[in-house]
Amino acid sequence: MMDLFRKYLLVGGMPDAVNTFIAEHNLVSVRKVHSDIRNLYKQDAAKYEKNFDRKLLIQRIYDLIPSNLENKKKRVVAKNIEDKKGQRMSNYSAEFEYLISSGIALDVLAVSNPVYPLSESSTKNLLKLYINDIGLLTSILYRNNIAPIMQNECSVNLGSVYENVVAQELKAHGFALHYYDNKKHGEVDYLVDDADATSILPIEVKSGKDYWVHSALDGFINNPEYKIPQGIVFSNEPRVFQKNGIVYFPIYYVMFLLPSKNDRADFIEI
Q: Please, which pLDDT band fits residue 270 given cuts at 50, 70 and 90? A: very low
Determine contact, residues 139/35, Cβ cutoff 8 Å.
yes
Query: How many angstroms separate the CA atoms of 163 and 177, rounded?
Result: 12
Q: Which residues contact 178 (CB under 8 A, 6 or more apart)?
A: 108, 109, 110, 111, 118, 122, 190, 191, 192
> Quick one: DSSP state of residue 115?
-
Long-range pairs, 39-43, Cβ under 8 A, ≥24? 41/104
| Of 210, 182, 25, 196, nearest in space to 110 by CA | 182
| Mean pLDDT to the nearest integer, 135-144 | 96
DSSP per-residue letters across 152-194:
--TTS--HHHHHHHHHHHHHHTTPPPEEEEETTTEEEEEEEEE
Arithmetic mean of pLDDT, 156-180: 95
191: left (phi over 0), alpha (psi -120 to 50) or beta: beta
Find out whether 259 and 171 touch, Cβ atoms under 8 Å: no
Q: How far apart are CA 16 and CA 7, in angstroms?
A: 15
Give the residue extent of every domain in the chain.
Answer: 2-267
CA 182 to chain centre: 19
Q: What is the pLDDT of residues 207-263, one digit of tens each?
A: 999 999 999 999 999 999 999 999 999 999 999 999 999 999 999 999 999 886 554
Of the pLDDT bands very low, low, confident and very high (cuts 50, 70, 90), residue 194 is: confident
Q: What is the pLDDT of residues 1-48, one digit of tens each?
A: 999 999 999 999 999 999 999 999 999 999 999 999 999 998 887 676
Nearest to 37 by CA among 19, 56, 57: 19
Pick the CATH number of 2-267 from 3.20.20.220, 3.90.1150.10, 3.40.1350.70, 3.40.47.10: 3.40.1350.70
Give per-residue pLDDT as tens, 49-99. 666 778 889 999 999 999 999 988 899 999 999 999 999 999 999 999 999
234 Cβ contact list (under 8 Å, min separation 6): 162, 166, 203, 204, 205, 206, 249, 250, 251, 253, 254
